[in-house]
Amino acid sequence: MTSDEELTGFVKGLEKEQTSLVAIVFASLFFIAPTWMAIVVFCIKENENENLSHLKFFKYLILTVSCQVLFMMVLCDNPIPPHIYKNITIEFVRNTISKKIFKKTPPIYSDTLLVHFRDSGGQPEFHEVIPALMPQSTLYLIMFNLNEDLEKEYNVTYKASEEDTSARYKSSFTVKETILQILASIQSLHNYEKPGITSSALIIGTHKDKIQGTRQLQQIQQELEKEIKGTDWYTSDAIATTPNGDLILPIDTYNHNDVETVKDMIKQSTATRSYKVPVTFIALYFTIEKLNKPVMSFKEFKNHARDCNIKYEVELNRVCQYLQDTMGAIQYFKNIPEMKDIVITDPQILFDLVNELILCTFTFKNIRTMDSRNQAERFRFSGRFTKQVLQECDIIKRGLLTADQVIPILIHLSIIAPVGINSKGYEEYFLPYVLVHAPVSVPASMLTVATGYSPLLVTFKCGYTPRGVFSCLISSILCCKGQWVLSSDKIYRNQVMFHLTEHGHYVILKNCIKHLQVTITVCHGSTISDVPFPKIRGFLSQHLSIIITKLRYSASKVGHSFGFYCTLEDHATSDPHIAQCISNVQNPHIKCTIGPSPMTASLTPEQAIWFKDDYNSKRTTFDITHLSMVLQFLTDNHYDATAWRRLGLALGIYQLTLNKIESDARGKTEDCLIECLSAWLRQEDNVKESGIPNWYTLEKALDSIRQRSIADLHCSLC
C-alpha cells in the first residue's frame, strides 16, 4: 500500500512556501489512501494579476467559497508589503472592518498552494468517523496502490515504532469494493448550503513507476471506470477527470510533473462553486486563528464575535454554523450540557483523541499506558475501555478538556457507547471501529440460525453501506440503554451479535459492504413465533435514520429500505442478489430488477414474518415519534419535496403556519417538509378535522395532490 514516506513526499510537493500573499483560500481536501491517511488541506493562493501587484490590504474584501473553498483578498489605504502580513494585528482588522467601506471585486485564481493538514494518523478505522467530524462539500483525494490486485482483500499493519511487532489484520473487503464504497459515500454526503451540490473526488493511483508497461495501467483504469460509470450515483461532475479525460490519475508520488497535475486538477475542481458570507465572519475566523487556542469559553468566543461587529444572537448562530459546517474551523456542541459553555477552536484535537484510542488497540502502546495487561488486552480484543484510559490521552493531559467532557462528545457523535459496569466497578465504553474483521471461518450467525424465516437485508440507495453507518449504528443502539446488549465478546468490525434481554433471542448484524444482513438465533426453549420480528425491524430502521442524519448523509441519496435474497423462479443467478420488499398494505410483495424487466412475487411466509403486524396497522395513530418513519417512507418512494406546501394543506395545516415554516427554514425544501410533517404529527391547526395522523390519512392526502403512486403505500418502513 502507499507508504507514509511516499505520501509525505507527495504532500511536500504540494507544500511550497510563498513570500507574496494576497489571496487566501480555505479548501477541505481528504487524501484517502489504502493506509487511509485522511488529510484536510487548507490552501493559500497568490494573486497573479500584474495590475494588482501593489495591492493594499484591508480596504476591500472579496470572498467566494468554491466547494467550501474561500477565496479572499483584503486591501487597505496604505500599501503594506506582503512579507509584513504576519505582523498585522487583529485590532487593525477589526477597526478597518467597522468602517464598512467594502466593495465587491471578482475573485482571484492562481496556481500557488500552501497546504496544512488535519491529521487522522493514517488509521483506516478513522475513516468511519470522517462524515461526523468534517464539513460538507469537501474535495476528496482517494489514493490507492496501482500495484495491488483490485479483487484482493487489503491488509492493515500497525506499528507504534520500528521495534513494535504488532500483527496485521486482513479486511473482509477488496480494494475495488472499498473504492466504490468510498465514492458512493462521498456522493451521498449532504451539503446544507446548496442541497443540489455533492462533494467531488479525485481518484489517484500511486506507484505508477511499479507498473509493467502501459497495458497493465490501461486495464486497471478501464476496469475501475466501467464499475464507477455503472453506478446509479455517477454523474459527469462527480469525479474530477485527468487532462486525458480519465477518471483515475496514475502518479509517482515523487514525480514533480505528477504533483503539478494533481494541483491543476484541484484548482479546476474548486473553481466552479461559490458561496458568499459576511466579512465579519471572516474577521472572526482570523481572530480565532491568531489566538492559537485549541479551546475557549463560549463567553470569550462571543466577545471576539462582538469585537468583529457580530452583535446579535441570530448572527452569532449563523457564524457558528458557518465556521463549523462550512469551514470546519470550530466544533461547538451546544446540545451537550458539559460542552455548552465551550467552543473547540482547533478540531484537530478531536482527531488526535480518536487516533490515540485506535493506536491503543492495534499496537503495544496500550500495554505501556494502561493500568494492567488484562485491561490492555480487553481493549484490544473487545473494544471496551474505561475512563481511566482517556486520562492518558494528550487532549486531557494538556488540560484542554476533561474526560467527563470528552466522553459525552464521543457518545454524541456515536463514536463510542456505554456498555455497563465491569467487574471492578468502572463504567466501560465500547469503540466499534477498533475491532478486526470476522475471519472467514466465522459463520454469519456464529450460532445456529433459526429456521422458518428469511434473513432480512437492509439496502441503501447509493448501492453500498455508507462509510460509518454500520459502526455508528452499533453505538447508537447501545446508547439507547434498552434491551439490546452486546453478546459476550463475539463481535467483529463487520459482524456483531446482540442479545435481546427481554426475550432471550440473539440478533446478528453483518456488514456485507453493499447491504446489511439481519439474522436471528432463537433462545433455548423458544420457537420462531416468539421472536418479535416487526419490532426488531422497526427498531433498526429508527436507528438507521438517526445515524444517516448524524453522519450528514442526505436521506434522498442514502435512504434505506428492506429486502431479501431473491428466490424468484427462473431468476436465479450465479451470485446472490437482492429483491426489494414492497410492503404495500393491499399487496405486499418483493420486486427484483435484475434482468431485462422487473419481476415481482408475493412475500413467502418466511419473508412476511418481518411485516406480519403491519397489514392491520393502516389506521394506527401516529405521533411525533413516527417522524423519521414517515419521512423515510416519502423519501424512499421519491416524493417530490418541493410539493411540501400542498401536502401540508391537504393534511390540515393552515397557510399561516406553512408561511412561518418556510420563513424559519429559509426556504430549504427538506427542512420545510420535516417541519410540515412535525406539525401534522403534533395535530396542529385543522389536522383532527382532516383526519387523525395515520397511513390512511397520509394516503388520502397524497392522492389528493396527485401523488397516487406514493399513495399506494409502498411503505417498506411502516
Digit-coded pLDDT (tens) for 273-328: 555 677 788 788 888 888 889 999 999 999 999 988 888 888 999 899 888 887 77
Q: Of the segments 366-380, 578-592, 621-635, which one has the largest average pLDDT value?
A: 621-635
Least confident stretch, 232-236, 262-266, 626-630, 707-711:
707-711
* Range scoring the smallest mean pLDDT among 112-116, 197-201, 282-286, 414-418: 112-116
pLDDT, residue 151, reads 87
Give the mean pLDDT of 671-695: 89
Q: Report the pLDDT value the prediction gives residue 590, as an integer from 0 to 100.
A: 81
Report the alpha-carbon distance of residue 16 to residue 155 in Å, rounded. Answer: 33
Q: Stretch 228-234: mean pLDDT, rounded?
A: 88
Q: How far apart are CA 341 and CA 325, in angstroms?
A: 19
117-121, 317-321, 395-399: which has the minimum mean pLDDT? 117-121
What burial class does residue 403 get, using C-beta atoms within 10 Å of its C-beta: 0-12 exposed, 13-18 middle, 19+ buried?
middle
- Band of residue 672 on the pLDDT scale cut at 50, 70, 90: very high
Among 638, 575, 462, 582, CA closest to 591: 582
Q: Per residue in 427-436, pLDDT tens?
A: 999 988 878 7
Which pLDDT score, from 0 to 100, does residue 676 have?
94
pLDDT tens, 453-490?
A: 899 999 999 999 999 999 999 999 998 877 898 886 67
Give dist(CA 614, CA 17) in Å, integer.
64
Q: Give the cell for residue 440.
A: 472467514
Q: How many Cα atoms sit within 13 Å of 238 on the Cβ side?
A: 19
- pLDDT classification of 557: cutoffs 50, 70, 90: confident
45-54, 112-121, 709-718: range with highest mean pLDDT: 112-121
* Half-sphere exposure in the Cβ direction for 285 (13 Å, CA): 22
Going from N- to C-terminal start, the domains of the chain cover 4-77+111-269, 279-346, 349-434, 456-608, 624-711
- What pLDDT score does 41 carry? 27
pLDDT at 649: 93
* pLDDT reported for residue 214: 84
Q: In what order do the strands lie in the sheet with 200-206?
A: 29-32, 139-145, 200-206, 248-250
Q: Which residue has the higher pLDDT, 537 or 19?
A: 537
Cα distances from 603 to residues 568, 600, 617, 632, in angstroms, run: 11, 9, 18, 22
Q: What is the mean pLDDT of residues 51-55?
A: 25
How many helices and strands, by DSSP H and E, does the chain display?
A: 26, 24
Q: Check for a shared fold between 279-346 and 349-434.
A: yes
Class of CATH domain 624-711: mainly alpha
The whole-angstrom separation of Cα 65 and Cα 48 is 19
Which of 146-160, 220-234, 379-393, 578-592 has the largest mean confidence? 220-234
Does the pLDDT at position 661 exceed 80? yes
CATH architecture of 349-434: Orthogonal Bundle (1.10)
pLDDT higher than threshold 80 for residue 692: yes
Q: Is 186 or 574 the better-scoring residue by pLDDT?
A: 186
Distance separating alpha carbons of residues 264 and 48, to the nearest angstrom: 15
The answer to whether residues 340 and 139 touch, using CB atoms and an 8 Å cutoff, is: no
Q: What angle do CA 257, 260, 261 make, to 5 degrees?
A: 90
Q: Which residues contact 65 (CB under 8 A, 6 or more apart)?
A: 71, 273, 274, 275, 276, 277, 326
Mean pLDDT for the chain overall? 73
Which of 83-92, 645-654, 700-709 has the highest average model confidence (pLDDT)?
645-654
Which pLDDT score is estimated for 118? 63
The answer, yes or no, to whether residue 389 has pLDDT greater than 50, is yes
Which amino acid appears at position 713 of this protein?
L
pLDDT of residue 451: 75
pLDDT at residue 689 greater than cutoff 90: no
Is 156 in contact with 168 (CB distance < 8 Å)? yes
Cα–Cα distance list, 76 to 85, 103, 110 (Å) = 12, 12, 21
> What CATH architecture applies to the domain 279-346?
Orthogonal Bundle (1.10)
Worst-scoring range by mean pLDDT, 31-45, 486-500, 604-618? Answer: 31-45
Q: Quick one: pLDDT at residue 273?
A: 57
Looking at residue 326, its pLDDT comes to: 74
Residue whose grid cell is 446488549 = 485
pLDDT band at 613 (very low <50, low <70, confident <90, very high): low
3-class secondary structure, 502: coil
**Nearest Cα to Cα of residue 343 among 329, 354, 325:** 329
Mapping DSSP to helix (H, G, I), strand (E, B) and coil, where does residue 458 land?
Answer: strand
Please give the pLDDT value at position 80.
36
CB 520 within 8 A of CB 513: no
